[in-house]
Amino acid sequence: MEMALELALKGKGFTSPNPLVGALIVKRGKIIGKGFHKKAGEPHAEINALKEAGSRARDGILYATLEPCSHWGKTPPCTEKIVQSGVKEVVIAMKDPNPIINGYEELKLRGIKTRIGILEEEAKRINEPYTKWITTKRPFVVVKAATSLDGKIATKTGDSKYITGNQARKYVHELRSQYDAVMVGSNTVLRDSPQLTVRLTKGRNPLKIVVDSKLRTPLTANIVKNEPGKLFIVTSDQASKSKIKQFQQKGVNVLAFKTKKGKVDLDEVMKELGKREISSILVEGGAELNAEAIRSKIVDKVLFFIAPKFIGEGITALGDLGIKKVDRSIKVKNLTYKKLGKDMLIEGYL
């Protein structure tokens, strides 16, 4: 199953809003077929593994990281092909959270020995975005920040290039390639004019989302000039209609929302983005957007890259969360740590 999970990860960044899935077929202790889900709309992992195994699959054991589908969608049900293949046993890591899928019971009813729950937690971890989106129709949201040891993301003059080292920055670009979209605030666009690409690694560039209630984003910004069709500007219904039209003429997607306490309601934004099958978002905002996302309770996970350096007076990673007492602070759970060059990555869930 560990090998099947490794196979599943090969689809990172290409299967959304579908899950990451890997499959292996073993017979007499040898792997005779392997496959992974390469892209949404293309054959599922089990089908690719069965195709490679061919007639040798009969009396083999199929290992799948996710419960095989049992319904007609963009592709036929995998359970039918599994039954037809003649495999004698199916071992599954996790149940599919999609309520219309019941492949585990279907295979048992069809007389195939079937087990579920092998390396279940590992399988769930790689499909966090899929599980969140399929059960709530909202994207899985991660706040990422790179800070100094004293919690600053920039100096008091706004300089932030670069707090972390090359290895950490390359890792961030790899992350971008795996998420459907990267979200920043208008302050970040005005200050840095970021590209939000994956230029330091291989992979596809994500969609870009700018939260800009006053529509201050310049028409000449890098993210407007580069791939405007992959840019979403989230603004208020009070924004300049003429400027909205200018953006739209360039191919930019502009979404206007009612404001909540003078700011775009991020909860409503998540509903809309979920409808558009955006299942995961990496927030690379400044202090204001990071804090607003956490206050709005749309954040599932945080990634903080911490560099071994002090800045002193400067810009913090988070703005005001409205917390007056330490015992009311927001707790980060299930922490893990990873060293990247001289920097440390702390990962946890809200």
Query: Any idea which residues carry the catalytic annotation?
Result: 46
The C-alpha atoms of residue 38 and residue 256 are separated, in whole angstroms, by 34
DSSP, residue by residue, 179-193: SSEEEEEHHHHHHH-
The C-alpha atoms of residue 37 and residue 19 are separated, in whole angstroms, by 8
DSSP, residue by residue, 260-311: ETTEE-HHHHHHHHHHTT--EEEE---HHHHHHHHHTT---EEEEEE-S---
Name the strand (E) or helix (H) holding 349. Answer: strand 343-349
Q: Which of 116, 52, 47 has its CA nearest to residue 84?
A: 47
The C-alpha atoms of residue 158 and residue 26 are separated, in whole angstroms, by 56
β-partners of residue 348 are 302
Question: At how many degrees (to 10) do helices 78-85 and 45-53 cross?
Answer: 20
Note whether 14 and 5 are within 8 A (CB). no
Residue with tokens 């005001």: 320
Query: Is the C-alpha dihedral spanning 53, 127, 181, 232 positive or negative?
Result: positive
Note whether 181 and 343 are within 8 A (CB). no
The C-alpha atoms of residue 239 and residue 266 are separated, in whole angstroms, by 16
Note whether 79 and 68 are within 8 A (CB). yes
Q: Tokens standing for 24?
A: 């292996």
